[in-house]
A and B are shown apart, each in its own frame.
Chain A
Amino acid sequence: MTDPAAITKDPLLTLTNVSSSYGAIKVLKDLSLTVGRGEIVCLIGSNGAGKTTALRCISGINKISGGSIHFAGDSITTIPAHRIVERGLAQVPEGRLIFPRLTILENLRLGAFTCHNAKEIADGIDHAFHLFPVLGERRHQTGGTLSGGEQQMLAICRALMSKPTMLLMDEPSMGVAPLLTLKIFETIRTLNNDGLAVLLVEQNAHLALKLAHRGYVLETGKIVAHDLASNLLNDPKVREAYLGE
């Protein structure tokens, strides 16, 4: 295993020994990970490993029982969820969580809830419609009537509306056709080229490791492997457990 500090010179997000439980069930145990500025890091692990829980802790939705979380140099360990977005940390949640009875436009505007500049919001919406033109064509359609793939595009664009410096993405390929998955991964790469840092949780470990710079492997709440993504792709244990070989 490679020393994470050696890989990430300029850390943006740092989790140090984070623990979290649901009632009596301990789900995260001393989880530590780092995402550098402008980096794509993927977090892979089997069902129930605690990936979603980790992202929910970072966003402040779930409470942590130990450890600390730092973002852009500040501790966000005890900051409430709604104050975290405005610091530049947005999330595309598992299951997309689109507002079903709000239109695409309203969903997008809510993504910019922390932004008070009308011009910036309008630009953000234009950008979304440029990334995924189908959203523009259906701007007045309610979220609940969109297909799974369309909802995923909307969830990504909605998160981008807050102009984040870092995006947490929880299984963006879930329930999405292969072609759109490729398009989404391509979009992540483009956004990353423009400086966006990404922490990506994915079942499709192959695609994720090819896209990411580094990767962590989570097993029952513990990091069991951590390396450059290219090394993980060639790691026999990872290949066996997560790439189905």
Chain B
Amino acid sequence: MTTTELIIQLLITGLANGLIIALIALGYTMVYGIIELINFAHGDVMMLGCFLALTIVGLCGGEQLSPWIALPLLFLTVPFFTAGLNWSVEKLAYKPIREAPKLTALVSAIGVSFVFINIGMFWGGLPMDVFGGGGSAASAKSFPDLFGWSNLLGEQSAVLLTPRDVMVAAVTIPLMIGLTFFINRTRMGTAMRAVAQNPTAAKLMGIDVDRVIGLTFIIGGALAGVASVITALYTGSIHFQMGYRNGMDAFTAAVLGGIGNLPGAVLGALLIGLVRAVMEGYVPNGGQWSNTVVFALLILVLVFRPNGILGSRVREKV
């Protein structure tokens, strides 16, 4: 493998991973932007989405399922489920304590996270073939390989580009463009930015702030659901604790880019994806150190830019 080929390979892996992290990071950063809450349950919503995806695949024939049926089926069900779940979390666990100190909601979020992790473990114990018959609830579940590992660049090519890499880009990039358009150009998107900047003024404009907050959780949840499907297909394995690892990466990405800032979350996620790709694909034994490097990078960035790479320097809130 030449150096150029290696760089291209690391870019492919890094960007694909980064785009998945970005989908989750957007949910963290949007929610933070609007109610200044780190929704610790967000990663676990994504985890439960993965369990639903595996359940659906299991019910529909497992390995035999054609990707042309599986993809539309999963993308039309899982994001609805995670969106509804995220919305319910807000209504049940955060809204009633919205006037309380921020720390209260944070603890509530951590509580929801634990509840979801336990639901995930219970779910993995259901007696289904895809869950290994339900014998060991806590074990990792392999997700049927619906894509195969064919190389789209030809079997002789040293660089590996699989259909799953293409799927990641083909799903996430249009979604992000659509989200950017929605936030910046539509009436509801502008209302969302208004609520983030000044909820009282937003009310005086006739904006139903509760509805806008609910919508934010729905969008964040739906993006997490898309991330569930992609992650399950991409990594081929799911686990009830995966929400923690994925959520941590995404949360770090959001902080790195500047929490509350949407392009920042994507940028931070791509950076983390690339760092991990380099550590795992180039540095010998680097995989063990990738967390260290990611967090060292985070600290380094925050020392020089305390509000993240794209975060605004001053908080404009009065």
Of the residues A81, A106, A109, contact of B204 by C-beta under 8 Å: A81
Q: Are B198 and A97 in contact (CB under 8 A)?
A: yes
B194: chain A residues within 8 A (beta carbon): 99, 102, 110
CB-CB nearest in chain B for A59:
B204
Q: Are B318 and A95 in contact (CB under 8 A)?
A: yes
Q: Are B204 and A101 in contact (CB under 8 A)?
A: no
A115 and B318 CA atoms in complex are apart in Å by 28
A59: chain B residues within 8 A (beta carbon): 203-204
Q: Are B197 and A85 in contact (CB under 8 A)?
A: no
B45: chain A residues within 8 A (beta carbon): none
Interface residues on A, range: 20 to 34
Q: Mark B281-318, 1 if CB is under 8 A from A, else 0.
A: 00000000000000000000000000000001000101
Of the residues B197, B203, B316, contact of A82 by C-beta under 8 Å: B203
Q: Are A110 and B190 in contact (CB under 8 A)?
A: yes
CB A32 to nearest CB in B, in angstroms, measures 24
A150 interfacial contact with B, CB 8 Å: no
A111: chain B residues within 8 A (beta carbon): 205
Q: Are B200 and A93 in contact (CB under 8 A)?
A: yes
Q: Mark A83-104, 1 if CB is under 8 A from B, else 0.
A: 1111000110101011111100
Q: Are B191 and A113 in contact (CB under 8 A)?
A: yes
A22 and B175 CA atoms in complex are apart in Å by 44
CB-CB nearest in chain B for A109:
B190
A114 interfacial contact with B, CB 8 Å: yes
A91 and B207 CA atoms in complex are apart in Å by 14
Instruction: Knowing A95-B318, A110-B194 are in contact, say whether A85-B200 is a contact too (CB < 8 A).
Output: no
B 169-209 contacts with A by CB, 8 A: 187, 190-191, 193-194, 197-198, 200-209
Q: Mark A105-149, 1 if CB is under 8 A from B, else 0.
A: 010011101100000000000000000000000000000100000
A 178-215 contacts with B by CB, 8 A: none
A61: chain B residues within 8 A (beta carbon): 200, 203-204
CB B41 to nearest CB in A, in angstroms, measures 27
Residue from A61, A81, A85 having most chain B Cβ neighbours under 10 A? A81
A residues whose Cβ falls under 8 Å from a Cβ of B: 59-61, 80-86, 90-91, 93, 95, 97-102, 106, 109-111, 113-114, 144, 158-159, 162
Leading 7 A-B pairs by shortest Cβ distance? A85-B206, A97-B201, A114-B206, A81-B203, A100-B316, A82-B208, A99-B197
Show 26 A/B contacts (Cβ-Cβ < 8 Å), sorted by A: A59-B203, A59-B204, A61-B200, A61-B203, A61-B204, A82-B207, A91-B204, A93-B201, A93-B204, A95-B318, A97-B198, A97-B201, A99-B197, A99-B201, A100-B197, A101-B193, A101-B312, A101-B316, A102-B193, A102-B194, A109-B187, A110-B190, A110-B205, A113-B187, A114-B205, A159-B204
B residues whose Cβ falls under 8 Å from a Cβ of A: 187, 190-191, 193-194, 197-198, 200-209, 312, 316, 318
Q: Give me 18 other A-B pairs in contact (C-beta within 8 A), A83-B206, A91-B204, A93-B201 excluded.
A: A60-B203, A61-B203, A81-B203, A82-B208, A97-B204, A98-B201, A99-B194, A99-B198, A99-B201, A102-B193, A109-B187, A110-B190, A110-B202, A113-B206, A114-B205, A144-B316, A159-B204, A162-B205
